[in-house]
């Protein structure tokens, strides 16, 4: 199988990070640390990035990692308490780790996009994580702009009332699989074509999209049920597993020039594509992962079961020009 080492390593690292995140949520009631852009980060985001970057640095030392977080704030003297908490959490995975080592592992994620790189969102949906809702650990390998491996760990996700904790894995050309966390039987995943599964998913956070326009487009393609609102790339998982036919993320009227970050999408895109679905931006263009840490050549994201994709794009064109 192609990319076997990369796939195995990504699964192991994301599974360890998922356990760390769940331990933080269970043991210490995480609170938000405010970043420069006012968005939240937690002890678990930092711990997850440290654990995954350590594994990547060891196994693939020359691969750059483009991760969401960096350790500059954590290095400030005023951050001694959260740093100690991050270190303590990482020690559950890697015993006898020092805080210095933790900081350096986090900063291993400050790489830049190149011919071959990994992109990491140590917690996608930090707001969901803090609320006790959905979040995901998202890791992908990209070569020449093409996503080759994508792993999404969703510790709080379940379908049809199952035990929470699902891991989605995709390798280009080899399909998508679903596995319970932390381990269990693997099953292949396909998107759904069933008309009664015509549900659509969107963000919980209204400011991350355009919910009025999303509802109008969904209705135009015959989806009459209310949206299922869910944090993080778990939404890609829902489409890949056939629990939703559509995920819409249209530019928010409050930030019309926002460009999506690569780590918010890379793993999810491959998981859906390899399950038989389709992902483009709102104009039907493929997402371009070759340009840097933002999808500068794209606006909005449309994720579907494939079958309804062209109809959605046509409805969107009408909604935008109306």
Residue 202 touches which of Mg ion, ligand A3P, none (Cβ within 5-8 Å per kind): none
- Which residues contact Mg ion (rule: CB under 5 A)? 39, 68, 121, 123-124, 126, 264
Q: Pick the stretch among 79-87, 116-124, 159-167, 305-313 that binds ligand A3P (CB under 6 A).
A: 116-124
The C-alpha atoms of residue 55 and residue 128 are separated, in whole angstroms, by: 26
x-marked contacts with ligand A3P along 225-244 as a string, rule CB under 6 A:
------xx------------
Q: Is 293 in the site for ligand A3P (CB under 6 A)?
A: no
Residue 205 touches which of ligand A3P, Mg ion, none (Cβ within 5-8 Å per kind): ligand A3P
Decide: 123 and 70 in contact? Cβ < 8 Å. Answer: no
Is position 307 annotated as part of the catalytic site? no
Q: Is 210 in the site for ligand A3P (CB under 6 A)?
A: no
Decide: 203 and 268 in contact? Cβ < 8 Å. Answer: no
Decide: 176 and 275 in contact? Cβ < 8 Å. Answer: yes
Nearest-5° Cα angle at 147, 257 to 51 = 90
Q: Pick the stretch among 140-148, 181-189, 199-207, 267-275 that binds ligand A3P (CB under 6 A).
A: 199-207
What's the min distance (Å) between Cβ of 62 and ligand A3P? 26
Indicate the residue among 208 and 278 with the shorter CB distance to ligand A3P.
Answer: 208
* Residue choice 6, 107, 121, 281 for contact with ligand A3P (CB under 6 A): 121
231 annotated to a ligand binding site: no
What's the min distance (Å) between Cβ of 1 and ligand A3P? 30
Active-site hit among 42, 87, 119, 126: 126
Decide: 175 and 97 in contact? Cβ < 8 Å. Answer: no
288 annotated to a ligand binding site: no
Q: For 169, phi and psi rounded to 5 degrees? A: -130, 135
E strands present in the chain: 33-34, 40-41, 65-67, 116-124, 136-143, 146-154, 166-171, 175-180, 187-188, 200-202, 228-229, 246-249, 278-280, 301-304
Q: Is 70 in the site for ligand A3P (CB under 6 A)?
A: no
Is position 126 annotated as part of the catalytic site? yes
123 annotated to a ligand binding site: yes
Indicate the residue among 295 and 315 with the shorter CB distance to ligand A3P.
Answer: 295
The C-alpha atoms of residue 52 and residue 63 are separated, in whole angstroms, by: 13
β pairing state of 246-249 and 200-202 = parallel
What's the min distance (Å) between Cβ of 125 and ligand A3P? 4
Query: CA dist 211 to 225, 227, 270, 294, Å?
Result: 14, 9, 25, 22
68 annotated to a ligand binding site: yes
The C-alpha atoms of residue 142 and residue 117 are separated, in whole angstroms, by: 5
Indicate the residue among 126 and 192 with the shorter CB distance to Mg ion.
Answer: 126
The pair of structure tokens assigned to 169 is: 């894995």
* Residue choice 39, 72, 115, 158 for contact with ligand A3P (CB under 6 A): 39
β pairing state of 166-171 and 136-143 = unpaired
37 annotated to a ligand binding site: no
Which residue is at the shortest CB distance from Mg ion? 124
Q: Is 264 in the site for ligand A3P (CB under 6 A)?
A: yes
Cis amide bond preceding 183, omega within 30: no
Give which of 202, 248, 196, 204 is closest to 222, Cα–Cα.
196
Active-site hit among 15, 45, 176, 231: 45
Instruction: Please list the active-site residues.
Output: 45, 126
Q: Which residues bind ligand A3P (CB under 6 A)?
A: 39, 68, 121, 123-126, 128, 203, 205, 207-208, 231-232, 252, 255, 258, 261, 264
């Amino acid at each position: 199988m192609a990319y076997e080492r990369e796939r195995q390593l990504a699964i192991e690292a994301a599974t360890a990070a998922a356990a760390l995140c769940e331990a933080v949520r269970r043991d210490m009631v995480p609170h938000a640390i405010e970043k420069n852009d006012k968005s939240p980060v937690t002890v678990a985001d930092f711990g997850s990035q440290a654990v995954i970057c350590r594994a990547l640095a060891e196994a693939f030392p020359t691969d750059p990692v483009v991760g969401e977080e960096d350790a500059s704030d954590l290095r400030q003297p005023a951050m001694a308490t959260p740093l100690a908490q991050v270190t303590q959490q990482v020690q559950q995975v890697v015993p006898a780790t020092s805080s210095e080592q933790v900081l350096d592992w986090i900063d291993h994620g400050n790489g830049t996009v190149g011919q071959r790189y990994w992109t990491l969102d140590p917690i996608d949906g930090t707001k969901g994580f803090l609320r006790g809702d959905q979040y995901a650990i998202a890791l992908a390998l990209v070569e020449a702009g093409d996503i080759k491996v994508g792993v999404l760990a969703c510790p709080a996700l379940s379908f049809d009332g199952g035990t929470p904790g699902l891991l989605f894995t995709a390798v280009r050309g080899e399909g998508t699989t679903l596995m319970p966390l932390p381990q269990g039987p693997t099953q292949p995943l396909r998107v759904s074509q069933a008309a009664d599964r015509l549900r659509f998913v969107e963000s919980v956070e209204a400011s991350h999209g355009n919910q009025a326009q999303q509802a109008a487009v969904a209705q135009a393609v015959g989806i009459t049920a209310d949206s299922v609102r869910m944090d993080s790339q778990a939404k890609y998982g829902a489409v890949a597993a056939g629990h939703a036919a559509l995920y819409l993320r249209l530019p928010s009227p409050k930030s019309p020039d926002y460009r999506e970050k690569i780590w918010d999408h890379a793993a999810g895109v491959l998981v859906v594509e390899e399950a038989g679905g389709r992902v483009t931006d709102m104009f039907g263009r493929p997402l371009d992962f070759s340009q840097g840490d933002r999808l500068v050549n794209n606006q909005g994201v449309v994720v579907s079961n494939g079958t309804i994709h062209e109809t959605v794009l046509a409805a969107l064109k009408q909604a935008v020009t109306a």
